Amino acid sequence: MKTIQAYRFALDLTPAQERAVLAHAGAARVAHNWALARVKAVMDQRAAERTYGVPDDQLTPSLGWTLPALRKAWNSVKREVAPWWPECSKEAFNTGLDAIALALKNWSDSRAGKRAGRPVGFPRFKSRRRTTPSVRFTTGTIRVEPDRIHVTLPRLGRLKLHESARKLARRLDAGTARILSATVRRNGGRWHVAFCTEVERAECHPARPHATVGVDVGIKHLAVLSTGELVPNPRHLDTASRRMRRLARRLSRRVGPDRRTGQQPSNRWRHAQTQLARAHARVANLRRDGLHQLTTRLTAAYGTVVVEDLNVAGMLRNRRLARHIADAGLAELHRQLGYKTGWNGGRLLTADRWYPSSKTCSGCGTVKAKLALSEREYQCEACGLALDRDLNAARNLAALAAQIDTAGSGPAPGRGADRETRLGGQVAVKRQPGTATAGQTGTVPPQGGTTDHTLARAH
């Protein structure tokens, strides 16, 4: 099975190498801003000419937004716009032009209704101070050295890694991986290189291919499994909040930049800013590592994993829970389960957003009309079942997989449920890519009549 996979490694750059990488990132920013200014000037000129009554066939010729068109326009003026262009790789300018071409396409598709999701605004100019330095290489010499602690990139030469690249090197030596591109980026005060590769993965099977696990995610516990296991929420942001507040206060007392007066930041301000950025990066790395360990363990052990389609963006609008929801990384957990089930030969089933997993009794199937968030224990009035509400929801999710297998697959009626109480209908369950029926949707008869409000599911 061929798949696209990224390998990211930290770099240990010398001062000269760091200046060279920053120069390439600056070249990408210059090309991006030039192309955006050129496109905007042509659009404004054509709009002004239309107000004068100029016919469409006599308007100023429009500038193509595709990468080849922008690259051709840049090559014709780069000697005047950037006389220093021979000092940087052509891939640096191509990085900025590719970014603006994609941004313009997304904006155009969003206006035309061809792009789903939130409306995309018109691209903005990149600031030297606020933009994350980044440059991508797609051609030239891109390789991992035989010692596996150095990499070679075009114009930048031989760069030392902070860690061994043996995992990628083994695949390259065996011929099961091919490097497509390499991106150098600064994150949290440290430089990283990410190799985008095409990997030929061996066929894998879960340890228990016929076993099913329901995963109920939340804040009190990061995940509650239908097996009864409680995965604690590490709350990395809360743990590091005291130190981060101290670093933020220290940064505010330093002499920082001021665009109004042209004041440059002091070295002490830069040092304090780096310390704060590293503290944030450490929290992100700890959160990512914990999610990887959990998702890898689940997908390697169970053939079927069932989760809920939570409206995380809507849950973040709750100002009382937004910080805790963001710290848990619920959307990232779902994303990792999506591709790791495909890698391990399993399947991921996603219950509909309004499926009443918490309100449904896992014993008899009775659905409560209302279930307050403060009720942490589920009490069934029909059969007398009493257990933790999260465990009850996880068991209902696990039971959903058996209903899908019994009912088969077919088209889902819309979202499958809404916010109103109903006595009949169907519950849609999406099959994620990586399964035998990728992209299809199965329908299951409901177990009751009411639905959960997404915000109330933020345990």
- Alpha carbon 100 to chain centroid distance? 20
113 CB contacts (<8 Å, ≥6 apart)? Answer: none
Question: According to DSSP H, which parts of 302-374 are helical?
Answer: 312-315, 322-328, 330-343
The answer to whether 181 and 196 have CB atoms below 8 angstroms apart is yes
- Among 335, 339, 347, smallest CA distance to 206 is for 347
- Among 88, 60, 90, 59, smallest CA distance to 74 is for 90
Verify whether residue 198 is a known catalytic residue. no
- Alpha carbon 448 to chain centroid distance? 35
Which residue of the set 216, 352, 388, 452 is catalytic? 216
Q: Which helix (H) or strand (E) holds 201?
A: none
Q: Please report, for residues 99, 309, 379, 385, 446, the alpha-carbon distance to residue 364 in angstroms, rounded to integers and kept in the order given.
A: 54, 24, 12, 9, 13
Which residue of the set 91, 388, 390, 452 is catalytic? 390
Which residue of the set 308, 309, 327, 452 is catalytic? 308
Q: Which amino acid is at 249?
A: R
Q: If phi over 0 gives left and psi between -120 and 50 gives alpha, with beta otherwise, what is residue 452?
A: beta
Q: Please report, for residues 183, 292, 304, the alpha-carbon distance to residue 10 in angstroms, rounded to integers and kept in the order given.
A: 12, 18, 35
Question: CA 157 to CA 163: how far, in whole Å?
Answer: 18
CB-count exposure of residue 14 (10 Å: 0-12, 13-18, 19+): exposed
Verify whether residue 216 is a known catalytic residue. yes
Verify whether residue 56 is a known catalytic residue. no
**Residues counted in the chain:** 459
Q: Which helix (H) or strand (E) holds 439?
A: none
Active site residues: 216, 308, 390
